[in-house]
Amino acid sequence: MNLTLLLLTVFLILQGIQAYENEFCYCIGQVHRAPEYRGFDVIVLDLDEASKELVESLREGGALVFAYINIGYAEEWRSYWHDVKQKGIVHEESEYEGEYLVELWSPYWRSLVEERAREALDKGFDGVYLDNIDAYVAIGEDNPSWALGADPERAMISLVSQVREVVGERPIMVNIGVATSLLADEAFIQLVDGVLREELFQELFMECTSVPREPNEVLRDLVFLEVTRLRGKTVVDVEFVDSWGEMLSEKLFLTLMGISLVAQPACDPGYEGLPIRING
């Protein structure tokens, strides 16, 4: 490769990186920082914390605003917690404090998810972001007695289908987590418009530290994500990075694949701040 071609290649790559630079803001931690979110094309905000006025303001700024809804786990800090607990459909705590496995097939949980999707529409959100799609995997691996006879995977697909009925043509984005194999399910892929995968290349190990994932696992997930992208779906990767060099190398690779990157500081696993920006 001669020098001219090399420089042209580098220029085109940098242009591609810049094109993705301000695309996604997965910022569910501090809604009061909303003015700082301007400049992003897609913004994910917590359904309960974001007011109708805030959503309208960000939309007027040109962003698509998605409502964060956790459909895989019940959270004890939500207003629904007392009623859900009383129904007896929540069980073991997940790896995150205050978040619990829930009977995904329960009519009460299904009704609650539908109600929250309707609330998102009432607040003027452009679409919904459904978190913890992979909760069914945890249920299947543990095989608890309360789940005997149930099909957690089918129940999750049914939940997403129910949200689709509520939001109509508005976009649905899902956090696929470790359930990337679900992207091979035609019924599921028809329901969603975009897929987000957290920690594709590396996983948070301790506070402010991330460690590489097994290469074969990364490759498997990349195949599923690339096939999803080729199906016309938006694909986003959230990485918790320790350095700018780490972020730039991952951004370069993903840009060449047509996948967007949200680079979050490894010391900010709760999404309390903004993603790292190349231009500061």
b/e map 1-36, b = 16+ CB within 10 Å: eeeeeeeeeeeeeeebbeebbbebbbbbbeeeebee
Distance, in Å, from the CA atom of 73 to the CA atom of 95, rounded to the nearest integer, reads 11
Low-confidence winner among 105-114, 160-169, 190-199, 254-263 (lowest mean pLDDT): 254-263
CA torsion sign for 73, 79, 84, 90 is positive
The continuous run of DSSP H or E covering 91 comes out as strand 90-93
Average pLDDT estimate for 173-200: 96
Taking each continuous run of H as one helix and of E as one strand, the counts in the chain are: 9, 13
Q: State the pLDDT at residue 90.
A: 97
Q: State the pLDDT at residue 5.
A: 54
Q: Of 189, 170, 188, which is closest to residue 229 (Cα–Cα)? A: 189
**Residue 9 in this model has a pLDDT that exceeds 50:** no
pTM value is 0.90
- 196 with 179: CB under 8 angstroms? no
**Residue 12 in this model has a pLDDT that exceeds 70:** no
Taking the C-alpha atoms of 140, 141, 144 and 148 in order, what is their torsion angle to the nearest 10 degrees? 30
- 155 with 196: CB under 8 angstroms? no
Query: CA gyration radius for the chain?
Result: 19
What digits encode the pLDDT tens for the residues 201-242?
989 877 788 889 999 999 999 999 999 999 999 999 999 888
Q: Of 132, 121, 92, 88, which is closest to residue 107 (Cα–Cα)? A: 88
What DSSP designation does 182 have? Answer: G
